[in-house]
Amino acid sequence: MVLIEDTHNYLMCPDCGKIIAPKGSDENAYRCDCESKRDYHKITKLKNKKLNYIDICDQLELSDEDGRITVKIEYDYYRQIELLLNNYKGVVYREKGLKELKALLENQNGIRQIKIEAFLSNNPILLIHKMIEESEKQEEIVQWLRNMADGNKKDTT
């Protein structure tokens, strides 16, 4: 997901998490000094707009069952929340694109049925709920939340 906005003037390295500053006098060239030595180049021509890249897709899975192809797109819940902080409509924009794609794939003659599965939301509470629901420590988290709700702030682990 690429964000173009005017409220931030930074890039964050996806490998080490550091904020990347422009290298040298060229404000369009960025480089991280970590082991990855990734180079970035600002491609927007808008003078006051900055470019941020938040990759929210973790995995793409294809399966073939009963003559139907299923495309499962795994979006990272935490990164969706991170994206909300930068651009509240970024996830909505991506979801709109997926809905358009689903509509195009419906009732196509000559090709097998293709189903797209993905979960996107700009609701942080729903995203947190999904994170807890899919966590390996779900019961511990639920117990901790109950203790917090009851006013018992003592750690139960």
Give the start-to-end residue ranges of the domains of the chain.
1-53, 57-122, 124-157
What does the pLDDT look like over 88-147, one tens digit per residue? 787 888 888 889 888 888 877 778 888 899 999 988 889 988 888 888 888 888 888 788
Per-residue CA distances from 157 to 31, 79, 132, 143, 144 (Å): 42, 27, 16, 10, 9
Question: CATH second-level architecture of 57-122?
Answer: 2-Layer Sandwich (3.30)
The 10s digit of each residue's pLDDT in 31-49 is 777 877 777 666 555 555 5
Locate tokens 């599965």: which residue? 117
Q: How far is CA 64 from CA 3, 58, 103, 106, in A?
A: 34, 20, 20, 17
* pTM for the structure as a whole: 0.55
| Residue-level pLDDT at 72 | 92
Q: How is the chain split among helix, strand and coil, in percent rounded to 5?
A: 30, 25, 45
Instruction: Considering only residues 1 and 157, tell me which one the structure prediction assigns the higher pLDDT.
Output: 157
Q: How far apart are the first and last CA of the chain?
A: 37
Q: Which residues are CB-neighbours of 25 under 8 A, at least 6 positions away?
A: none
